[in-house]
Structures are given as C-alpha cells and as structure tokens.
C-alpha cells in the first residue's frame, strides 16, 4: 500500500514557496478550458441584464465619434490629416477602446475576484488573460462598424486607401492587448495595498488618451510636444493602425520598435509583480 502511494503520479503539485520567476505557463495551458469559461462568464454577465445587450458595442463608439466630430472637428477645427472626420475619430476610438478596456478591467482583477481566489486554486494569470480575450469580442464588433463606415466613405470617393501594412494588423492587436495587460497587472498588484489607485485608473486612462493620437494626428502636434507624445507607446500603435487601414499616419520602424520594447518591458514586470503579489494578496485585500 505504501509503495503504491509513493509510485502514484501527480499532475499538479501546489507548493507554499516558489521562485519569483516560476510563472507556471504549463498550468495556463492545462487550465485553458477554465479560460474560455471565464470569457463566456464575462460576456454573459455584463450584458445579461441590459436592455440593448450587445448593441452597446455599436452605440458607445458611434456616440463618441459624433461627440468628437462636433467638439474637436467642427468647433476646435483640429486637423484629421485630410481624412473624413468620422472615419478618423472612429479608427482611433476603436483601437483605444480595446487597450483601455484591457487596462481598466485588468487593474481591478484582484479586488473583483478576491472571493474566488481565496477558495480554489487555479493559475491566477488566467483571470486577466480572460479579460483580454473577452474584450476581443467587443473589438471585433467595433472593427466591423469601422469597416462598414470605410465602405460608405469609399462609395463617396473619400480620400483614403488601405495600405500593405494591413498585414501587420494582428500584430498591432497583440501589442495593444499585451500593453494593456502588462499595465493592468502592475496596477492591480499595487491596489492590494494602495486602494486609492482604483479611483485614479479611470481618470488616468482618460488623460492618457489625450496624450495619444486619438483625436489628432501626430503630424498636427506642435513640434515641441511631438517628442513627448511619441513617448506614449500607444501613439506608434494607433498611428500604424490608421496607416494600415486609411493610408494616413506616421508608421515607422522606430515607432513600432519603441512600442514593442516598452510593451515587452511592461509585460515582463507586470507578470513578475503579479506573480509575487498573488501569493499573499488575500491577506491584504
């Protein structure tokens, strides 16, 4: 009997103390079914008790585009690089919404799921990953809206064109997801001790948007502020996104390389900090 117990093979071993760099990526793959369950839960729970349901995917970017067109396009007369105003703003909003949703929702993952984390074991990184994946559904719907608007303005002979850079579109989406994930992981780890940060996330994301080329092209930015705006890693991503679909924007190897470098660094530190915090966050949340 004793020999049978010793020879028994275990596929999961939970240890009290592990290395800071032991990220358990194998566990993530083994729990992939749980990942998709969380994705389904996020989608159903958010829209189950709403009147319009998934139509909110369309309503939010449409109204935001109309407001931006009226305020920044008609009143402020900010340049849109010769692109139709509605198309210019919608392209920026679509890309920015995906990044900001990944960041905002990941930044509260410890607080929102403390009850689950304290009761059962599973790789904690699955929870923020499920947020990134579930937000892809919303992003996909808004991309369809953008393509419909592109088709409309194409029938009106508007001045824009799709470029060869569209082949980098999946890579740009991946960059937005990983950057939002990395920043969100850092913030959610910090909020376990400093809860005031949760009140600053929404406000901070809004301010960050104005430091990105969502409502103005990089070419229209004053020269003395242009370098500061380029330090925002989302600037290069949104400029490349616009260039790919609309043919306008500053898409350079330097801008994308900088965005990639910042994303890798932020994601690395985000995962390490998250991995360290999740071991004892239940005692402080």
Mean pLDDT score of the chain: 83
Two tokens, residue 145:
């809206």
Asked if residue 180 is part of any domain, the answer here is: yes
**pLDDT score of 31 more than 90:** no
Asked if residue 20 is part of any domain, the answer here is: no
Domain that holds residue 195: 48-283
* CB-based burial label for 188 (10 Å; 0-12, 13-18, 19+): buried
pLDDT at residue 24 in the model: 62
pTM attached to this predicted model: 0.84
**pLDDT score of 35 more than 70:** yes
Asked if residue 115 is part of any domain, the answer here is: yes
pLDDT at residue 198 in the model: 72
> Where residue 2 falls among pLDDT bands split at 50, 70, 90?
very low
CA distance 107 to 109: 6
Asked if residue 121 is part of any domain, the answer here is: yes
Asked if residue 21 is part of any domain, the answer here is: no
CA distance 184 to 106: 5
8 A C-beta contact, residue 219 and residue 141: no
> Where residue 1 falls among pLDDT bands split at 50, 70, 90?
very low
Asked if residue 43 is part of any domain, the answer here is: no
Asked if residue 108 is part of any domain, the answer here is: yes
**pLDDT score of 242 more than 90:** yes
**Total of domains in the chain:** 1
In sequence order, what are the residues at sequence separation of 6 or more whose Cβ sits closer than 8 angstroms to the Cβ of residue 211? 228, 229, 232
3-state SS, one letter per residue, for the chain = CHHHHHHCCCCCCCCCCCCCCCCCHHHHHHCHHHHHHHHHHHHHHHHCCCCCHHHHHHHHHHHHHHHHHHHHHHHCCCCCCCCCHHHHHHHHHHHHHHHHHHHHHHCCHHHHCHHHHCCCCCCCCHHHHHHHHHHHHHHHHHHHHHHHHHHHHHHCCCCCCCCHHHHHHHHHHHHHHHHHHHHHHHHHHHHCCCCCHHHHHHHHHHHHHHCCCCCCCHHHCCHHHHHHHHCCHHHHHHHHHHHHHHCCCCCCHHHHHHHHHHHHHHHHHHHHHHHHHCCCHHHCC
Asked if residue 17 is part of any domain, the answer here is: no
> Where residue 33 falls among pLDDT bands split at 50, 70, 90?
confident
CA distance 42 to 132: 11
**pLDDT score of 145 more than 70:** yes
């Amino acid at each position: 009997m004793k020999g049978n117990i010793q020879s028994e093979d275990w596929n999961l071993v939970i240890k009290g103390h592990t290395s800071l760099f032991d990220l358990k990526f194998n566990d993530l793959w083994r729990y992939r079914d749980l990942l998709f369950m969380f994705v389904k839960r996020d989608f159903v729970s958010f829209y189950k008790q709403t009147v319009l349901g998934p139509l909110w995917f369309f309503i939010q970017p449409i109204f935001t585009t109309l407001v931006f067109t009226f305020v920044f396009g008609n009143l402020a007369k900010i340049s849109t690089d010769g692109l139709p105003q509605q198309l210019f703003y919608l392209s920026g909003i679509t890309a920015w919404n995906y990044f900001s949703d990944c960041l905002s929702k990941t930044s509260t993952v410890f607080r929102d799921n403390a009850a689950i984390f304290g009761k059962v074991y599973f790789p904690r990184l699955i929870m923020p990953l499920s947020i990134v994946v579930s937000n892809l559904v919303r992003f996909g719907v808004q991309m369809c809206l953008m393509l419909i608007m592109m088709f409309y303005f194409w029938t009106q002979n508007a001045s824009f064109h799709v470029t060869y850079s569209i082949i980098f579109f999946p890579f740009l989406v991946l960059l937005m997801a990983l950057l939002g994930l990395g920043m969100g992981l850092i913030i959610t780890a910090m909020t376990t001790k400093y809860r005031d940060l949760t009140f600053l996330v929404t406000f901070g994301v809004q301010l960050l948007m104005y430091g990105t080329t969502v409502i103005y092209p990089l070419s229209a930015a004053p020269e003395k502020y242009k370098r500061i705006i380029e330090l925002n890693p989302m600037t290069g991503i949104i400029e490349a996104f616009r260039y790919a679909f609309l043919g306008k924007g500053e898409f350079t190897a330097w801008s994308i390389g900088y965005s990639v470098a910042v994303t890798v660094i932020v994601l690395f530190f985000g995962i390490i900090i998250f991995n360290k915090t999740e071991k004892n966050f239940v005692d402080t949340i």
